[in-house]
Amino acid sequence: MTQRIVKSLPDQEKSLIARIRGRARRGTGLVVGIGDDCAILRVPAGHELLITTDLTLEKVHFRRDWHPPQVVGWRCLTRGLSDIAAMGGTPRAALLSLALDRRVPQSWVNQFLTGLLDAAEQFRIPLAGGDTAQSAGGIQADIVVVGSAPTGKAIRRSGARPGDGIYITGALGGAAAALGQLKKTIVRWKDYERHFHPEARIQVGQWLGRRGLASAMIDTSDGLSTDLEHVCEESGVGAMVESAAIPRAKVGRPANQVSLELAMHGGEDYELLFTSSGQVPSTIAGVPVTRIGQMTKKRGMVLIDATGISGKLVPKGWQHFVA
Amino acid sequence: MTQRIVKSLPDQEKSLIARIRGRARRGTGLVVGIGDDCAILRVPAGHELLITTDLTLEKVHFRRDWHPPQVVGWRCLTRGLSDIAAMGGTPRAALLSLALDRRVPQSWVNQFLTGLLDAAEQFRIPLAGGDTAQSAGGIQADIVVVGSAPTGKAIRRSGARPGDGIYITGALGGAAAALGQLKKTIVRWKDYERHFHPEARIQVGQWLGRRGLASAMIDTSDGLSTDLEHVCEESGVGAMVESAAIPRAKVGRPANQVSLELAMHGGEDYELLFTSSGQVPSTIAGVPVTRIGQMTKKRGMVLIDATGISGKLVPKGWQHFVA
């Protein structure tokens, strides 16, 4: 009789909706939030709409024994926010689709939502809607983030030109280093902040967008080598990177600099990788910015090592474990 | 090293993206589609944005042995389109998040996409982006549909007033009847069209929106009784329904009218349920429209049976199997 083949979760769903409504911040532009067929939003006049979706799957993107529920919720929304940051945009609202099996305790869901809504509050966006369902096993979330940028001003991947400098915010490899440690032992959040509590670089993106200073931009979700390749492909150019210039994260206890390998190919740091032909300051919105190379007319990516010898830079971010 | 805990699907992903790009229709307003951090869309001046997300999960919303992949893809997008229809809106673009385990054959994915893109073409919207990942088991999809409506004109669930007539498009119970049959035997698509090939009532919704004729609207995804309750709750009113007036689908071979029970509580017909104080024609955009009752000041829902005796109408759409 029901259209769903297995039982759904009316009580859990009602509780979820009540919690979201209870904490929902009516951000500017939200006309109708949860409780209708669609959310209704107003986009500022003269702005284009930005939309991104990101899956967060148990056993794929997180493990319940490694990641506390607040961390999973925070990171779930951060993945979408980071995509908005990478366009130089302003986030406007989020929608969450969440599938849970019946054995997921309500306390897990509550803490997951707490983490997600903490991030929503920090960036002043409402959780405007979504969907809930019973899963066939485990936890699956999909976050949608809607943002906007002045028409024609969103920073794409395709605008890099030969001679443009290549820049990266913050430091790389910290998130991947945490995953490596988690496989071996218990780790403390604060020793691996960028893994457990990454912050989308919204302000840096907006700063660059306002000044038209970045010719291309992407966030480092897949790892520097793979994300830089995306920029090269979409822009139709090549890149030359100096390995000694790549800022490597200091993580752990005592804090150690991660390996070059991790900094080049480890993902989920959610830093911004951008190209520019202009004068780029060494700090933007309080975040360090480092020049790591420049775009080239010749296609392909080249890595220059500390001794000045150049070799091929192979993208092996998120494909790394593939046989 | 990779940020994903298990292997991802670079080859399958690349093939998927190539297929979507190959068939992508550059709908009005799509500035950037797949291949950047976000999709960029333009919303017509004077319009508000509508956004909806809907999960489609294997073993929950479909079974691979019951539902051909094209059907799963078509229904996946239809769920989102139907939400846009229920606001009287115009669909503008869709985004798809798709998680697959490694054993899902490429042919399944291709046919799923064919079904989804068929629906996108029919309603002239581009598939503008999304996400792909390896699942921990089975297939999980989440569809995002973005639409728009003139500012202030989207039809919400909350506008029904006492005395408004209650109307339903098409006929009810056909989709639920198919599920009942599938549990027993193999069925033919064409005998259960509304289950295998439902069509979002976009044109009916737009017709009502343009004329301001509907005071409240919802699509019957959860079943008439549950969806009508949503309208009652959001509008703060009650409803009185005449059981004899409920249009019951004719399905199967030979075609038989479904039971009143199925028509009242079966979901996924994706018809439009709306209320109006005006003159509503018996056909809108080629779709039959039936008056089934009226909204009441007194809260709660009442069902008047064929003999004129009234009883409580209990919402038991998608909660039906819950103990």
Dihedral Cα A147, B49, B225, B248, nearest 10 deg: -130
B299 close to A (CB below 8 A)? no
* Residue A193 tokens, joined: 């902040």
Beta bridge pairs of residue A241: A293, A303
- DSSP three-state, residue A301: strand
pLDDT category of residue B25 using cuts at 50, 70 and 90: low
pLDDT tens across B156-198, in order? 999 999 999 999 999 999 999 998 899 898 888 889 988 999 9
Across the interface, of B3, B146, B322, the residue whose CB is closest to A268 is: B3
- What pLDDT sits at residue A24? 55
Helix (H) or strand (E) holding A268: none
Provide the pLDDT confidence category of residue B14 given band limits of 50, 70 and 90. low
Q: Which amino acid is at A7?
A: K
Q: Which of residues 89-108 of B touch A (CB under 8 A)?
A: 89, 93, 95-97, 99
Residue A294 CB coordination number (10 Å):
18
Sign of CA dihedral A116, A117, A120, A122: negative
CA B68 vs. chain centroid, Å, equals 18
Residue keyed to tokens 């020793």: A191
The pLDDT assigned to B316 comes to 85
Q: For the residues B43-70, what does the mean pLDDT come to?
A: 95
Q: Using a CB–CB cutoff of 8 Å, tell me whether B266 touches chain A.
A: yes
Average pLDDT over residues B265-284: 97
- Using the Cβ of B210 and the Cβ atoms of chain A, whether some distance falls under 8 Å is answered with no
> Does A236 contact chain B (CB < 8 Å)?
no
Q: CA angle, B188 as apex, B138 and B104 as ends, to 5°?
A: 20
Q: Residue A115 and residue A261: Cα distance in Å, rounded?
A: 31
Distances (CA, A) of B40 to A54, A147, B94, B128, B131: 16, 9, 12, 8, 15
DSSP bridge partners of A30: A41
Tens digits of residue pLDDT in A212-258: 999 999 999 999 999 999 999 999 999 999 999 999 999 998 999 99
- How far apart, in whole angstroms, are the C-alpha atoms of residue B172 and residue B250? 9
Using 50, 70 and 90 to split pLDDT, how confident is the model at A81?
very high
HSE on the CB side for B80, CA within 13 Å?
34
Secondary structure (3-state) at A279: coil
* CB-CB under 8 Å, B265 with A5: no
Cα pseudo-dihedral B129, B133, B135, B141, rounded to 10: 0
**Over residues A264-279, mean pLDDT:** 96
pTM for the model stands at 0.92
Residue B313, pLDDT > 70, answer yes
Residue range B142-166: mean pLDDT, rounded: 97
Count of Cβ atoms closer than 10 Å to residue B13 Cβ: 18
Lowest mean pLDDT among A113-122, B177-186, B258-267: B177-186
Which residue has 């593939």 as its token pair? Answer: A322
Which residue among A41, A48, A55 sits closest to B42, beta carbon to beta carbon? A48
Tokens of B251: 């399905």
pLDDT at B320 over 70: no
Q: Are strands B47-57 and B127-134 parallel, antiparallel or unpaired?
A: unpaired
Give Cα A89 to chain centroid, integer Å.
13
pLDDT band at B2 (very low <50, low <70, confident <90, very high): very low
Give the pLDDT band (50/70/90) at residue B7: very low
Residue B111 has a pLDDT of 96
At A311 the three-state DSSP class reads: strand
Amino acid at A313: L
What is the residue-wise DSSP string for B198-264? Answer: ----HHHHHHHHHHT--SEEEE-SS-HHHHHHHHHHHHT-EEEEEGGGSPBPEETTTTEEPPHHHHH
Dump pLDDT digits (tens) for B77-86: 999 999 999 9
Q: Which residue has the tokens 């970045």?
A: A214
